[in-house]
Structure 1
Amino acid sequence: MLKNISFKSRLFLMSLLITTPTMAGWEVNYIDTFSGDSVNWQNWTAQVDANFNNEVQCYTDDDSSIDKNFDVSDGTLKIIARKQQTNCVGLNNQSRDWTSGRINGKDKREFLYGRIESRIRFHNLEGGAWPAFWMLENRIAESPRKNDDDFVNWPNPGAGEIDVWEWFANSPSTYITNFFNTGGGSCGNEVRFAYPNGANDVLDWHDYAIEWDENNISFYMDDTLVTSHNVSNCPQYKEPMFVLLNVAMGGNLGGSIDPSLRKVTMEVDYLAHCTATNQNNAQRCNENTPAVYADDDNDGIENSLDQCPNTPSGESVDEKGCFEEIVNISPEVSLSITQNNVTVSSVDISGGLVTISANATDENADDILSYVWLISGTIPSPIIDGGLVIFDPSSMAGGNSYQVDLTVTDNGNPRLSVSNTIKFSVNNMPLDAGDDEREKSSGGLFSYLLLLMLIVFRQKYLQH
């Protein structure tokens, strides 16, 4: 009953009611499902020069050796910390006893507001490990450095931090949500959430998320609202942020490392960003959430599937959005003869206009085809229009045979051609007096080869 609740508690409950954002639904703007066999470096950078909080690991970009620190397999990303001595390249060859992985999306995948969600489980309970899913404002002076005003020191405006899920093995039954900034109490505070089933919960899959707008930041585990913060008066968290995923060892929070520990693993199923929508009532941001269609490089492959996001305009790409070499395929052509819209093999002198038609196809849909006709015998005044030859047979001598050849050439690289031939005869009809006079006047003539060449270029729109 409310009369048994303190005044401070009532204020806290009212704050939750006021500040918890109400969204109709979500749609995916970006998701990495780690479905390949290596880290997609179009989305991530390995931050090998990171060295903070008295941690003992050396961060690497190794996703291929037998002792790799990033393993993408079976649809998940495994960030693996290993007990092994190394001269750390990212730290000027300092000697370190552990290697691990830390990736961030700075300058590649940055987000302003929405729901940011990841499905994570950790494989170890031994002391010393410190895994995290967190975010930084994108003007922070950390690698990768694009020199686009990214000179701000942590945690000043432009370099503030939000910890979505931070766990350490020396306090295993809780995890941390937190803020680091210069805005004081108006910019959120640390909240430690107790796992319902204690430390073993971290070994199971859970969906960790924030819902963020200019006034509110709320934290979730699965369907549970962990905490909500009113940041409407906070001068930070009003600009794009990027996600970091890492496993630290030892240090300020990791603490003493169990001497028997040789390997720890943080497994990530997906990382997704969603924007609010009124088109559905989706409450999560994952592979089953409807997607926003976006194609920044206009190659026909949406951003979430595009593994080559900066393809030059006009390039042919494959289903991954990457450049695809075009293999030129020779066109094909068939010929037919019609008279009065009826397909024939011989023509009637008195039957009206005759049309020879070429049906040319090309699997390379953008190819332009040219036509070269070769006609033997005397065909009176043919009209040639690309793939058509039209003539009037009324003045032709009956009983003769004719042959028409066609060569079709594409403009691919290399240019390829195909040829076809069609033959027909003219029905033997009695000649009238006028025909007899014409035949006498032309009696000294003989059959000859009439070469008619006309190249007509036209764009082909093909069906496949």
Structure 2
Amino acid sequence: MISNIERNPVTFLPKKHGQAIVLGTFLACTAAPALAGWEVQWIDTFNGSGVNWNNWTAQTEANYNNEVQCYTDDDSSSEKNYDVSDGTLKIIARKKGNNCSTLNNQYKSWTSGRLNSKDKQEFLYGRIESRIRFHNLEGGTWPAFWMLENRIKEQPYKNDDDFSHWPNAGAGEIDVWEWFSNEPDTYITNFFNEQKYISNDCGNEVRYSYPNGASDVTNWHNYAMEWTADNISFYIDSTLVVSQDVSNCPQYKEPMFVLLNVAMGGMLGGNIDATLQKATMEIDYIAHCQPSDENSAIYCNEDLVDDDNGELNVNINVTQNGANIVEINPANGPVTLNANPSNLTSDTDYSYDWSIDKLPSAITIDDKVIFDPISMENGSYYVSVTLTDQQQSEYSDTDGLTLQVKASTTSEDASVTSPSESSSGGSANQFFLATLALLCLVRRRYI
């Protein structure tokens, strides 16, 4: 086993949306190439209300290793296998007997999700990174973040030389993070390619031991692969797990795509805990970066995306009774969320996709959402909006924020934030209805 090597000096802080990236001096490691920093080429931060199918395909025809799940494309039903909410993607395996329609009605005892970016988002060299946690320690689960070469004969089929069979050239595999609940104290980085089996060369399996054992998998970690024509290195957070020489490997020198999935049982998942009803893999973001001299970033995430770089941009602001607020008082009347765009051009159309599932009786009209918070309990409510160029859907921007609802406990508090009557009174309700009526009359196209 190759020992773990720390990049030094560095301080790692677990990241969630809105926290600043930790930038440190990126010094050379003896086992890995030295880079100055990273520049984001592509990222999915899962800030919408469903899977962005411009980035992903649900690989519903996958059936390997005697696994017991039927992969679906369900991101909307009450038993969905993909849940995009609160700024993360949850891939959920559910114990549910079914005749899997995409596998010739073969009986499966579970449903689950498997996304791949084939023919949509493919990468050659750089850093591929995802921030992941797994919610379950019960036996029988097998979540993974991995990659395949783009000529493999697997769904989707674009008729662009998709003829190669695993693990031949054009269909090789790299596992960035692969975890078995029946061997829970470690996770696997691994290579599968034809040369490996012919000459015992071209990358080997290496297992990383979690410092705190199996429970570490339930915590957020950054799992990443740094890839050049000569070297592939794997990282967990700021720790180098292993660096492997692939300079003499003919594979892994063409584009690859990413896969995220939760498999159940089979030859590798093993026996499934009889009490287990569902298992969840949660993904904060996934990104691809190329080397950059503009910073000293060691991570590849949304904090490297410059909101003021001249590209499409949107930001949410919140008003109540005409005043900008940071905290919602349910007694103070209707609240408006405004999506404020910038860098729009005059010769295209734009759409606004809001994620506002927990807001009561919300009315959405283009760049505005209006709702009456009178029934809302104190607490936090996450909302987001995605602005998309309708002519070029790859140009989009998402902003998300957490609304804090806190009822005033004194009349003095209410007088500070609300010059009008409470929303339980007639005037506030009339204002709410009048505002909605006006918005319906002036519904706009954004050009």
Same fold (TM over 0.5): yes
SS in 2 for 1:219: strand
Residues 1:168 and 2:180 aligned together: yes
Query: Would you say the 8 A contact 1:186–1:230 is kept in 2?
Result: no
Residues 1:117 and 2:117 aligned together: no
Residues 1:320 and 2:388 aligned together: yes
Counterpart-to-counterpart distance in 2, 1:113 and 1:292: 25
Equivalent runs, 1:121-132 vs 2, <5 Å: 121-132=133-144
SS in 2 for 1:126: coil
Residues 1:195 and 2:210 aligned together: yes
Post-superposition Cα deviations, 1:30-74, rounded to whole Å, max 9, x if no partner, equal: 110000110000000000000011101000000111111000000
Equivalent runs, 1:219-368 vs 2, <5 Å: 219-290=234-305, 301=312, 315-318=348-351, 319-322=387-390
Equivalent runs, 1:42-191 vs 2, <5 Å: 42-184=54-196, 185-191=200-206
Q: CA deviation at 1:316?
A: 3.2
Matched AA of 2:206: V
Counterpart-to-counterpart distance in 1, 2:97 and 2:68: 11
SS in 1 for 2:268: helix
Q: CA deviation at 1:24?
A: 0.6
5+ residue gaps in structure 2?
6-27, 314-345, 352-386, 393-447
Report the CA distance shift for 1:75/1:290 in structure 2 as closer, same or farther (over 3 A): closer
Matched AA of 1:276: P
Give the paired residue count: 299
Matched AA of 1:22: A
Matched AA of 1:115: R
- Structure 1: 4+ residue segments shifted above 3 A: 16-19, 290-295, 313-319
SS in 1 for 2:133: strand
5+ residue gaps in structure 1?
1-7, 303-312, 325-464
Report the CA distance shift for 1:186/1:314 in structure 2 as closer, same or farther (over 3 A): farther
Q: Which of these two proteins has the greater Rg computed from alpha carbons?
A: 1
Matched AA of 1:109: Q
Q: 1:207 — aligned with what?
A: 222
Counterpart-to-counterpart distance in 2, 1:48 and 1:111: 22
Report the CA distance shift for 1:224/1:292 in structure 2 as closer, same or farther (over 3 A): farther
Query: Would you say the 8 A contact 2:127–2:225 is kept in 1?
Result: yes
Counterpart-to-counterpart distance in 1, 2:71 and 2:121: 21
SS in 2 for 1:288: helix
- Which one has more relative contact order, counting CA pairs under 8 Å at least 6 apart? 2
Counterpart-to-counterpart distance in 2, 1:36 and 1:17: 38
Query: Would you say the 8 A contact 2:348–2:389 is kept in 1?
Result: no
Matched AA of 2:388: K
Report the CA distance shift for 1:66/1:290 in structure 2 as closer, same or farther (over 3 A): closer
Q: 2:12 — aligned with what?
A: none
Matched AA of 1:316: D
Report the CA distance shift for 1:254/1:9 in structure 2 as closer, same or farther (over 3 A): closer
Q: CA deviation at 1:293?
A: 10
Q: CA deviation at 1:97?
A: 0.8
Report the CA distance shift for 1:219/1:240 in structure 2 as closer, same or farther (over 3 A): same
Q: CA deviation at 1:221?
A: 0.2
Post-superposition Cα deviations, 1:220-259, rounded to whole Å, max 9, x if no partner, equal: 0001000010101101000000000000000121100011
Residues 1:39 and 2:59 aligned together: no
Q: CA deviation at 1:315?
A: 3.8
Query: Would you say the 8 A contact 2:2–2:242 is kept in 1?
Result: no
Q: 1:396 — aligned with what?
A: none
Report the CA distance shift for 1:119/1:9 in structure 2 as closer, same or farther (over 3 A): closer
Matched AA of 2:276: L
Q: Percent identity?
A: 66
Counterpart-to-counterpart distance in 2, 1:285 and 1:169: 28
SS in 2 for 1:187: coil
Equivalent runs, 1:375-414 vs 2, <5 Å: none
TM-score normalized with structure 2 length = 0.64
